[in-house]
A and B are shown apart, each in its own frame.
Chain A
Amino acid sequence: MATAEVRFQPERINARRATQRRPAVLRLLEAERSEEIFPLLLEEIIALGFARALAVDVNFDTGDITPAAALKWPRQQLEKFSTALWMSEHPLVSVLHTARPAVLNKTNLHNRPIYIHPILYSNRNLCWEADRIRTATCLAVQNFHREKKIRLEEQVCATCDMRAYTAALIVEVPRNAAQSAITELSELIELANRYLSRLFKVEHYYNRMRDMEITIAQMGTVMQSMADPVILTDTQHRVIMQNKAAERFFRVPDEMTEGLVRAVELNNLLFSAALSSMLVSGSDSHRDLTLVDAIEGEEMLFEAVSAPTYGPDGIQIGTVTVMRDVTDLRRADQELRSNYDKLREAEEVVRQDRDRLNLIIENVGDPIVVCDREAKIVLVDPLASELFGEANEVPRNATQFRNQTQLSAYISNFTYSFAERETAPLSLSNPALKQEIEYDARSGKIFDEGGQVSYTVTVLRDLTALRKVEQLKVERRMLEIEKFAATGRLAATIAHEVNNPMEAIKNAIYLLAGSMPDTASPIYNILKSETERVARIVRQMLGLYRNTEQVKPVNVNMIIEDTLLLLNRQLQRANIEVETDLGILPDAVIAADQIRQVLSNLVINSKDAMPNGGKLIIRSRHFSSPDDLQGWVRILIADTGTGVPPEMIRSIFEPFVTTKGEKGTGLGLWIVKGIIQNHGGRLSLKSKPGKGTVFKIDLPVMKL
């Protein structure tokens, strides 16, 4: 590359002097820079015998025309030759536009005739660009051949983009100057212009080269500063150039482990293969490449984009490949994809759940209402919509409005209560039956992550039918109890009639004791013990007669306490510790006297089972069951007595079965069982000989 300094030769002026007497052709060759042409030319013109000469230069950027050099021309007159291209009236300008030399005799420019010779960048040969492209036109050649008249403003080469120059030589000529002298002058100027054109062309290319150097340096900086690997390869995929980012993957640094060397080799191989495949496929110039980072050692995914590069002759000389690190991008993409899949799966599950739930809700057969935390209805099943109207809609009629108000009051209360679930009666108007119906509202809460109530779910049970059944049960049970009482009364009446004669018999036997002969003693004993047995049976039957009381709501705990109070002395005497654990009970509809008899029978049984004392535990509880509205009362009577022999457990409730031998009637538990059954209750026992016995009584809580 040539540098500007080369042209400032110190011996230049001496050299010129040395060649002063050479012909003009040779002397003009002294000029090595375009600016040196005009002074040399002016000297030659004067040497030809012309009085004075000057050169004007056209600045294409501004359109200004200014004197560039002058010889023997009075300085003060040079002003007149300063003009501009658009000053078409100016004699100089009009000659310039014609691009042909002219002699002007009378002008206001000079008091003598002047010869004006415009010169234009011209060359016989095509410039290098035009030469390479061949078909293109070259401005210099066009100007040389003067093929057409060229406007000064258009003096820019279409091929190489070079701006031409235009100037004019102005020479004072004598009046009536000989044509030969003018011709000589013209030829000299044309010769000079040829030299000028050549110098101009060289200078143009020098400038271009300098510009290109700058551009290349800039491009290099750009390429190196790119974070993405950029690689220029030749047609054999050999790396011509690569930036630092690319070296990380494709250049083997000095110090590296064998493994990483292999990684770099593999990278090159992969890259080469990708380039080949892109070359083959032609249109598709994108490839994904997994490369190993030679420094970090980790795998990275790249997207390689390649573009062919062409030489000046239009033939591909290589390929530029830019690689984009898409590791994170692809990973994110993959994650996004898998998340999307998961979301779709979850959505499917939720959808199925919802469908299933809807199916359940539609088939429950009871009205279901879901409310939000403001007690506003958000979901209803078809049955509930009859009562309240559709969710998120205003009630259609007064009944629905009233029901909504009722529900809202109940739900608000429940939402702000501490209970997680609640069962409460709720009176609502049934639009179909046009009457008030009592529902059993069972509500639960749904909480959000913050533990706040987000929704409440309420299932309403129509209690009318259930109540009717309940009522029937109560009535039937009362009838049973009454029947039992009637039977009891009959038995008691008979027993009462038997009682007095038996009292007399018993007393008589007692009175006979002292006056019996010893031989009659066994018979006497039979008489005595059997009479006592009859007395016990009579006593038991008389007990039934007392149970004539009406059936009414009673708290079973009170009956337990009464019974224990009545039997307290007996139990104390038998050295029995009594422990009671009475729960909170609702009033149960029962015949209190009959239950009292049940309890006293069982307590006395327990007492009899503990001849050496022991512990008696009585416990009462209320428990709910899904089948009955009011639930049950359970009474447990446990003792630490002798227990019931296993073989007797099955028959213990049958009449005249007793564990007490002669002392028992075998009627107690039979009566107990009858009373419990009449009350719709259940009776069971568990016993371990030597450990004790537990009686369990369940009585249904009924309401009248």
Chain B
Amino acid sequence: MNDAGQYRVLVVDDEASVLLTYRLILEQQGYAVTACGTSREAVEALEKNEFDAILCDYSLEEQHTGFEVIHAARRRYPEVPAALLTGYATLETADEAELKGIKVMFKPIEIDEFLSTTSSMLRKNNESNQKDIGEKDAKPQSNRKGEHGDSGARRRASTGPVKG
């Protein structure tokens, strides 16, 4: 989380338009978003900044995969929640992801699913880091009405599930 109390999310996708829309949607939810178009950029960003969640396309430039980015992130922050966004994950890929505690979202992704998955990843991680509770009260600014806004990154520490 940054100084403004926002969750820091790293989004990686090699399609510029897709990357842009993801960034905008997440920023709409009040997250601090860093968007990268290649794995190299992403790795560099990871070296500079700390992130609360990684959302990464599976197939990146020049045969690079989302796994590499997530591995790089986990080397620094082993607990960081991560999700793969993919058009065609094989069963093996899905199995590998599950084994490593990585969520998989299949494109085209329902935006509801996209947002709820992201927020639940952050919430879980947040509960494991109790230090922040109470101090940070920065609500993601939701200028959207209806269900989407409700499913945002708002912290619900008191009601959320306890990590087993």
Contact = CB atoms under 8 A, between A and B. Distances in A.
Interface residues of A, number: 24
A504 B17 contact: yes
Given A503-B15, A511-B21, A511-B24, A539 B88 contact: no
Nearest to B15: A500
B28 A507 contact: no
Interface stretch (B30-38, B106-114, B117-125, B153-161): B106-114
Interface string B140-153: 00011100000000
Contact of B22 (A501, A507, A536): A507
A38 B17 CA distance: 182
A538 interface: yes
B88 A496 contact: yes
A134 interface: no
Given A542-B88, A545-B88, A507 B144 contact: no
Contact of A514 (B21, B107, B144): B144
Contacts of B15: 500-501, 503-504
Contacts of B21: 503-504, 507-508, 510-511
**Top 3 A-B residue pairs of the complex, sorted by shortest distance between their CB atoms:** A507-B21, A535-B108, A504-B17
8 contacts: A496-B87, A503-B15, A503-B107, A510-B21, A514-B145, A538-B108, A542-B87, A545-B88
Contacts of A511: 21, 24-25, 28
A83 interface: no
B63 interface: no
A240 interface: no
Given A507-B25, A511-B28, A546-B90, A499 B107 contact: yes
Contacts of B17: 500-501, 504, 508
Interface in A534-580: 535-536, 538-539, 542, 545-546
Contacts of B91: 546, 593
Nearest to A501: B17
Interface of B: 15, 17-18, 20-22, 24-25, 28, 87-88, 90-91, 106-109, 111, 143-145
A110 to B, nearest CB: 163
B84 to A, nearest CB: 14
A499 B87 CA distance: 7
Nearest to A535: B108
A510 B18 contact: no
A513 B88 contact: no
Given A510-B25, A511-B28, A503 B109 contact: yes
A258 to B, nearest CB: 110
A507 B87 contact: no
Nearest to B89: A546
B117 to A, nearest CB: 14
Given A506-B111, A507-B22, 12 more contacts: A496-B88, A499-B108, A500-B107, A504-B17, A504-B21, A507-B111, A508-B17, A508-B21, A514-B143, A514-B144, A535-B108, A542-B88
